[in-house]
Structure 1
Amino acid sequence: MTRTRVRPPSRVAGPEATLLTVERGMQVLRAFRCERSAVSNAELVRRTGLSKATVSRLTSTFIQLGFLRHVAGGREFELGTGPLSIGHSFIEASPLVRMANPFLQALADKLNVSVALAIPNGLEMLYICYRTSDRIATLRLGVGSLLPLGTTSIGRAWLWALAPAEQKRLISELKRAAGGRGAALEQSIRESFAELDANGTCAVLGGYQRDAYGVATPLRVGRDGTLMGLSCGNAEVAPNVAQARKRIGPELKKAAVQLEALFAETDGLP
């Protein structure tokens, strides 16, 4: 009697496989940072948690599509022109960005700081608007910058305004990602929450760059009340954070109220 060998079904097939591939591809692209430093396959594996084979396959595909390119004389990668065109289209098409930029520029000039509006992106905050005073030259940030959610003022202000269940879940993720520093990170986050409870803003020094401080507050934007973070910051030698908080805090809270009114009839998300 001849037996017919039955091939076991694929673990992931059809549309589900396509969605999984797209999701993994987006993880790789998000692993690139705004500082434009070249990234190796090994570093992409570390940042994404994907297998070496998956990362190699995706980077090869993205090179063919123009989303990545090899750094001259090396095997590392940097973003190509593909993501640039998408980002430019996003900025040009966003009424929120067009409305926010003049307002944020005026605030930056008034306080002599950089001003940012950000939304969450995993365990980071993504700058969708960024304006700076002409006298600021030490912060290496801009639209598209990704800052840590757990260690920066803008991330903690956004986290503070979340519903309790979602806040608890994200703090657990942040602690897990921090490893042995998880308990200290949570304590520092709780201290910022206490500051927000008392003043409506929080200030953090060195959350992403040495000698750089940020003062932040949350705001809800548009008809659907999209939660975002608004921050002012600067980098100085031995900055006086208490003085910066006192100087910036009241203006920042006033700006958040004005921005919420400005965006009241928008769709919220950029």
Structure 2
Amino acid sequence: MRKRAVAEAGEEAGGEDRQFVAAIARGFDILHAFRAEDPMLGNQELAERTGLPRATVSRLTHTLTRLGYLTYLPRFAKYQLGMGAVPLGQLALANMGIRRIAAPLMRALSEETNASTSLGRRDGLMMLYVEHVSPRTAVALQLEVGSRLPLALTAMGRAWYARSDPAARAAVDREIALRQPAEWPAIRAGLLDAVAMGESLGFTASLGDWNPTVHAAGAAIALPGGEIVALNCGAPAFMLGREQVLGEIGPRLAAVARRIEAMAQGTGPAPNSGASQRP
């Protein structure tokens, strides 16, 4: 859920941000509530996910529908994302040069390991897939570009966390502790383990923490502008055991992440037609 997202986003270390337009932020909270697995939502569901009053949600969905960012489905009395949102997403993806750099290496790693490989960036307390490659197999993780996974429980999110600076980690800590107070001690332990693992091994792991049927490794990439993005490589747990994640997939993913980072920084060679580099 994105409760208090508007208030928290508008606060800075020195106090309230007077330049922050809460009405716009509430509109984006509505759009962010939609997920690939939940493409249709009603006003009540949107109110529950955003923490906004039902009357406010009704006005926002009406406005967003008029603007083309939502489409109303009378048969279900629910909304889905409209075509107005498509150009924005396509433009954002087109502007991410890291996707063009990473895609060939991700594809090679995916085929070599028979596991899905994804590239994501932080979106609040979630990680948003901006590139995804599945192996040519009937058994693969059913995720795609636009999928959003919890930052704190996934290999990709933990890799982002482990590579981020202390201030960014602290902001994430505060928000998770506020939203999930009962679960926070266990989540915190997992994040601390991820930091230690990232520092010592260059990758992180999620062995059933997000989904008991999924095992994955994660590795972060620092872009020239300072943004941290992250890769993951995972598969159903019955195909990818703990030992394989830690002994093979993790080190290979870390090597791919280092190569992508060097290329993004202009210090590494472009990918050739061959496979990804082994550690």
Q: Verify: 1:256 aligned to 2:274, yes or no.
A: no
- 1:230-254 deviations in Å (ceiling 9; x for gaps): 1111124375222222111221111
How far the C-alpha of 1:142 sits from its partner, in A, is 1.2
Q: Verify: 1:188 aligned to 2:177, yes or no.
A: no
- 1:147-191 deviations in Å (ceiling 9; x for gaps): 101111111111112222331231122122223111121122222
For residues 206 and 71 of structure 1, do their structure 2 counterparts lie closer, same or farther at Cα, with a shift above 3 Å needed? farther
1:229 alignment counterpart:
230
For residues 202 and 61 of structure 1, do their structure 2 counterparts lie closer, same or farther at Cα, with a shift above 3 Å needed? same
How far the C-alpha of 1:137 sits from its partner, in A, is 3.8
Match for 2:122: what amino acid? P
- The question of whether the paired residues in 1 share the 8 Å contact of 2:140 and 2:235 is answered with yes
CA–CA separation in structure 2 for the residues paired with 1:136 and 1:198: 35
Work out which of the residue numbers 32, 35, 40 in structure 1 matches 2:34: 32
- 1:31-73 deviations in Å (ceiling 9; x for gaps): 1112243212112112212221111111111222221123351
SS in 1 for 2:21: helix
- 1:101-151 deviations in Å (ceiling 9; x for gaps): 222111211211111111111111111111121116442211111110111
Q: Verify: 1:178 aligned to 2:180, yes or no.
A: yes
TM-score (norm 1): 0.84
The structure that has the greater radius of gyration is 1
CA–CA separation in structure 2 for the residues paired with 1:168 and 1:87: 29
For residues 206 and 25 of structure 1, do their structure 2 counterparts lie closer, same or farther at Cα, with a shift above 3 Å needed? same
Work out which of the residue numbers 77, 94, 97 in structure 2 matches 1:75: 77
For residues 207 and 58 of structure 1, do their structure 2 counterparts lie closer, same or farther at Cα, with a shift above 3 Å needed? farther
- The question of whether the paired residues in 2 share the 8 Å contact of 1:124 and 1:147 is answered with yes
CA–CA separation in structure 1 for the residues paired with 2:200 and 2:86: 41
* More deviation, 27-36/160-169: 160-169
Match for 2:246: what amino acid? R
The CA RMSD measured in Å over matched residues stands at 2.2
How far the C-alpha of 1:17 sits from its partner, in A, is 9.7
1:103 alignment counterpart:
105
SS in 1 for 2:183: helix
* Structure 2 unaligned blocks of 5 or more: 1-17, 268-279
Between the two proteins, the alignment pairs up a number of residues equal to: 250
For residues 149 and 238 of structure 1, do their structure 2 counterparts lie closer, same or farther at Cα, with a shift above 3 Å needed? same
- The question of whether the paired residues in 2 share the 8 Å contact of 1:108 and 1:132 is answered with yes
TM-score (norm 2): 0.82
For residues 54 and 211 of structure 1, do their structure 2 counterparts lie closer, same or farther at Cα, with a shift above 3 Å needed? same
SS in 1 for 2:36: coil
* Structure 1 unaligned blocks of 5 or more: 1-15
SS in 2 for 1:204: strand
- The question of whether the paired residues in 2 share the 8 Å contact of 1:128 and 1:143 is answered with yes
